[in-house]
Structure 1
Amino acid sequence: MTNFQPVFFAVVFVIVALICYLVVRQLLPTALDKRVEALGGTHLDSAPRPGVAASLSGAAARWLTPFARPSLPKEAWGKSPLRLRFYNAGFRTTTAPITYFGAKTVLTFVLPGVQLFYMWAFPVELQSTALLALLVFLAAVGYYLPNVVLAHIISRRQRQLFEAFPDALDLMRVCVQAGLGMDAAIERVGREMELESSALSEEFHLVSLELRAGASRADALRNLALRVSLEDIDAMVATLVQADRFGTSVAESLRVHSETLRTKRRLLAEESAAKLPVKLLVPLIFCVFPALLTVLLGPAVISVYRILLPRLTGQ
């Protein structure tokens, strides 16, 4: 085992150095970029550069494109249900599916490869059946790990939208009561909500862009509900569509719906608080109570063992 340790650390160093070199090379402008900037009459120092996260995302997409092609859906991407999940997570770029499917393909083979390399560097005796089961398990983990990450991102974003939506409805109601039209109120709320919730501000901005492009208000609101995929927002969209169709008071509908959302948010908080004692019961029994019992009864047990046990056994 000691003979393979220098080789293992050397290989790890080479891999890390190669990854750092490729990342730095992707972030630096290429000769084509410099030529395009020169033809455009702008200098690289004065031109706005994309953020590091955007550059890393583009570089990762370029690296993962060959690996993503076998996993990309055969049907049209516009009709794929996975596209809606990317919208729910806030991913609207063309690099999102490439990164997703490329990561699934790479992780499916990389995790078993890392395990085999580790077993070669540090030999461990395993039966062939156990080794095969371990490799299949790691491949399954690598294949489904992007699904778990995507589901977590969707859940976190929907939670953020749900918590910020009542404030947006109150602000929209104030705008409508002040004399603004529904389209102008949506645009105004999108600008004002940027500090509190960037995700909700982005969604309202997209609705405003659809309205400017000529889409009807009902279609723009239904697209909002489709992108967010929350029952409360679906109900709000249905209420606004009905109010717009039948001519009822939009401000009153927004007030009632915002109060409903606040009540639901308070009930969810009370439910979480009521579940807290039950969740604390398991660590209390298995972690805190044994330690407390050891501290309280430990000296008594030691005294009984030292004094009473010799007398009872007659020693």
Structure 2
Amino acid sequence: MMYISFFATVTLFLYSFYVFRSERKNVLKRRLSSFVNNNEQKDWSQDDQSKLPLHKRVFKPMWREFRRGFKRKIPGEKQAKLEVLLLQAGNPMGMTPFEYRLIQLGIIVLFPVMAGGWGTLMDFNPAGVLLMGLVGGVVAFIMPPFYIKSKIKARSKTALLELPDILDLLTVSLEAGLGFDGALSKVVSKKEGVLSMEFHRCLEEIRLGRTRRESLRGVRNRLVVDEISGLISSILQAEKLGIGMVNVLRIQSEEVRDQRKQRAEQEAMKAPIKMLFPLVLFIFPSLFIVLLGPAVLQFIETFNK
């Protein structure tokens, strides 16, 4: 019975998280469709509110108040840093800083309880149950920041791999006579990926009124890659000094390809060292058994005689 209740609790928690995410997406779709279709905003009177379901009349206002109170408790600096980290990670699962903090607190509460419950189900002694709870607490503290850092690292690596092709296409577009914004638009329409999405966001910000300098700095802040930071700095410097953008991008393209070649050579030089550990642990013992095993057996038979 304890096993059934334990797994039912975990299943219901995961299902509630899934329902919350799907309901949030449905609300967003309904709001967008209302703007697209030019629907008039409804005047919610008391009669209209009485027709709403119970969770929208009671639980939704409570959730809204809880969200406001929780946001007030998060310092502004921490919220800004967390928002930057989520942007660098590509907003995984569409999380906002509030949702990330809420999930983090839920994991911190849930993991020690789950680990302690598992220790109890396995008939551990009290010290073992306490140790399992401590291990669950440590994992709960480490896992959310580790997940965000891994997403940032993977996203930065993907952007770095896409950079040479994006630079070549951007240079060709500028040489064909397009302006910088037009060349970026051409790159966004022809390529897909992390870097293309960031440039698309940059163009949208420019259309909304931000300056090109601020939009490009936003791309540099959202992608933690030295090569991309150097490229954007060169573009901003060329724009400030009036240098030809084509020459700057051509030089940057050559440098990026040279750096990619150097990274490939470094990885090739690391390969023998990485192969040494499985070679010593797995291959050498097998070779010694095959080659020296018969000789050892003959020595043993000879000394026994």
TM-score by length of 2: 0.78
Given that 1:104 and 1:144 are in contact with CA atoms closer than 8 Å, whether structure 2 keeps it comes out as no
In 2, the alpha carbon distance for the partners of 1:21 and 1:107 equals 14
- In the other structure, the counterpart of 2:43 is none
- In the other structure, the counterpart of 2:251 is 256
Question: Compared with structure 1, are the counterparts of its residues 36 and 87 closer, same or farther at alpha carbon in structure 2 (3 Å cutoff)?
Answer: closer
Corresponding letter in the other structure for 2:116 = L
Question: Compared with structure 1, are the counterparts of its residues 73 and 21 closer, same or farther at alpha carbon in structure 2 (3 Å cutoff)?
Answer: closer
Q: Does 1:122 align with 2:117?
A: no
Q: Does 1:156 align with 2:154?
A: yes
Name which of structure 1's ranges 216-225 and 201-210 shifts more when overlaid on structure 2.
Answer: 216-225
- Which has more helix, going by share of residues? 2
Question: Compared with structure 1, are the counterparts of its residues 286 and 271 closer, same or farther at alpha carbon in structure 2 (3 Å cutoff)?
Answer: same
1:28 Cα offset (Å)? 7.6
Q: Does 1:80 align with 2:80?
A: yes
- In the other structure, the counterpart of 2:165 is 167
The DSSP-based 3-state class of the residue aligned with 1:123 is coil
Residue 217 (structure 1) aligned to one of 212, 225, 230? 212
1:280 Cα offset (Å)? 0.8
Q: Does 1:308 align with 2:302?
A: yes
Given that 1:240 and 1:253 are in contact with CA atoms closer than 8 Å, whether structure 2 keeps it comes out as yes
Q: Does 1:233 align with 2:228?
A: yes
Question: Compared with structure 1, are the counterparts of its residues 260 and 109 closer, same or farther at alpha carbon in structure 2 (3 Å cutoff)?
Answer: same
1:290 Cα offset (Å)? 0.9
Question: Compared with structure 1, are the counterparts of its residues 73 and 95 closer, same or farther at alpha carbon in structure 2 (3 Å cutoff)?
Answer: farther
In 1, the alpha carbon distance for the partners of 2:201 and 2:229 equals 17
1:264 Cα offset (Å)? 0.5
1:174 Cα offset (Å)? 1.0
CA RMSD of aligned residues (A): 3.8
The DSSP-based 3-state class of the residue aligned with 2:96 is helix
Mark the runs of 5 or more structure 2 residues left unpaired by the alignment: 38-61
1:83 Cα offset (Å)? 1.6
- In the other structure, the counterpart of 1:3 is none
Query: 1:33-54: CA deviations, max 9, x gaps?
Result: 9x999x99x9xxxxxxxxxxxx
Question: Compared with structure 1, are the counterparts of its residues 281 and 98 closer, same or farther at alpha carbon in structure 2 (3 Å cutoff)?
Answer: same
Corresponding letter in the other structure for 1:100 = Y
Question: Compared with structure 1, are the counterparts of its residues 282 and 66 closer, same or farther at alpha carbon in structure 2 (3 Å cutoff)?
Answer: farther
Aligned length: 280
Question: Compared with structure 1, are the counterparts of its residues 71 and 261 closer, same or farther at alpha carbon in structure 2 (3 Å cutoff)?
Answer: same
Given that 1:67 and 1:106 are in contact with CA atoms closer than 8 Å, whether structure 2 keeps it comes out as no
Q: How does 1:69-148 map to 2 (within 5 A)?
A: 74-76=74-76, 80-91=80-91, 95-125=95-125, 127=127, 131-148=129-146
In percent, how many aligned pairs have the same letter? Answer: 25
Mark the runs of 5 or more structure 1 residues left unpaired by the alignment: 1-5, 43-61
Q: How does 1:290-301 map to 2 (within 5 A)?
A: 290-301=285-296
Query: 1:144-163: CA deviations, max 9, x gaps?
Result: 20111110100010011111
Corresponding letter in the other structure for 1:309 = F
